[in-house]
Chain A
């Protein structure tokens, strides 16, 4: 909270009184707002026991919420693994010594960073259902009609997030001290060996908090599967809500699940970051800007472009 100390002196007795008054007024306003909202919700009958008891029945969980959560986690986990692999490969290619390889990887990354994830999901989904050649192909490799939405969700997530992870890793490599690369070259490694054996592993460690924050983005974006009828947590919640006529309450519960899940991942990123800084495991930790904040963007990106250490293509 460096910003806090910048803006005002340590308050004296008068300022403390004023802050207390402001605090009371602020809390009163907030409480008033909350009460108005709750009264409104109450008037609509959302607090009736019947709206909440479905969540005490095991069937709601075993038939709706847990299978939905499982599908969400499944899509997110597969997408995370695949986009890490593809992202690392793209980063290697984009730092290659062969110019055309660099350009091709650059075009790929810049293109898929600019296209909304949902557009890619819908495209993959409709094509897998409508295009006769693709339908034959997916059936021949054992993807059933029911799995098509899963494939579409993962494809959309992977293409976008691999591009973002490629840029994160490149930023990580650029933020390493120049001596790391020089040392590798001086013991006779080729430039590509230096990247593979020395720079990339360090970039991974240095960028671990940012990479974990990207996991939050992937988990959140898997909810886009709702739109293409993938039976993830949000879709299952909608069905549960209409089955019990408690849509409003069901969304509150599912929001709480999502928030807790992502908050836990964010905390993990912060913990790893503080441990990194303490043990100075990463080369970046030493000379780098004091805080490589775990930045993760609004759903589809935003701050992922401004990771620590601005890359050459940061606009």
Chain B
């Protein structure tokens, strides 16, 4: 088993999975917060745009989005996200996968933040308005800080899903865990079950701490009311 892990660079594959998840999560968090602000804004058009974004992205399969990033954006429209160089294809596919993962999960981050906003008592924003804060000010100083603290659990669940969903990046030639596993089992079908268990436990090891951390954080940071 150990020589299989070395031969197919499983450690490197897991590292790529972690990098994909980390970068996509940061981008998704920023984009998702932006969309959530649009959905909460008092302006009809912005509202509509946020709602449309969420509806479209939530109902499209992630596989389609990621494959489209490669075959549609890059191959057909010529949108390149990396510099031309020796590692161009790998680097470009990595960034296209990050793009796909981020725009998809941003829709769920947006919904998580909105559920966090719903945990805030009406009095909080009434108080913010009554002391003369404008909408952006009350959002920045009162609503969003509390919303994020209330949304830790759902955001953690999006992160867990995101970590597992990075496997879809194999569809456009990223050499992450799903890629490594396929090659390992094709090479050694007799050790197939063991390979599967090792990789499954790898995912448990990646997602379990996230679950524990979010439940610890959400109880620690919960706004006591």
Binding site for B on A (CB under 8 A): 2-9, 11, 15, 19, 22-23, 26-27, 30, 40-41, 44, 46, 111, 114-119, 122-123, 126-127, 130-131, 216, 220-224, 226-227, 234, 238, 241, 247-248, 251, 254-255, 258-259, 261-263, 266, 293, 296-303, 305-306, 314-315
Contacts and interface: CB of A to CB of B under 8 A. Distances in A.
Contacts, number: 217
B59 A251 contact: no
Given A41-B77, A116-B165, A234-B67, A3 B45 contact: no
B76 A114 contact: no
Contact of B177 (A11, A119, A220, A263): A119
B5 interface: no
B interface: dominant SS: helix
A46 B182 contact: no
B145 interface: no
A146 B135 CA distance: 59
A300 B67 contact: no
Given A118-B168, A123-B196, A127-B192, A301 B157 contact: yes
A40 B107 CA distance: 25
Contacts of B139: 7
A238 B42 CA distance: 41
Contacts of A298: 58, 62, 104-105, 107-108, 158, 161-162, 165
Interface string B18-58: 00000000000000000000001111111001000001101
Given A7-B40, A131-B189, A238-B67, A114 B45 contact: no
A258 B59 contact: yes
B207 interface: yes
A242 to B, nearest CB: 9
Interface in B122-145: 122, 125, 129, 135, 138-139, 143
Contacts of A300: 161, 164-165
B16 interface: no
Contact of B59 (A23, A126, A266, A306): A266
A119 B71 CA distance: 23
Interface in B156-205: 156-158, 160-162, 164-165, 167-168, 170-171, 177-178, 181-182, 185-186, 189-190, 192, 196, 199-200, 203-204
27 contacts: A3-B40, A7-B135, A7-B138, A8-B135, A9-B129, A23-B45, A23-B46, A26-B43, A27-B45, A30-B45, A111-B200, A115-B164, A119-B178, A126-B186, A220-B61, A220-B62, A222-B61, A263-B59, A296-B58, A297-B108, A298-B104, A298-B161, A301-B164, A302-B158, A302-B161, A303-B158, A314-B153
B60 interface: yes
A130 B167 contact: no
Given A111-B200, A263-B59, A297-B108, A238 B71 contact: yes
A248 B77 contact: yes
A123 B192 contact: yes
A116 B182 CA distance: 14
A225 B168 CA distance: 11
Contacts of B108: 297-298, 302-303
Contacts of B168: 118, 224, 227, 299
Contacts of B156: 315
A38 to B, nearest CB: 12
Contacts of B40: 3-4, 7
Given A7-B139, A123-B196, A315 B61 contact: no
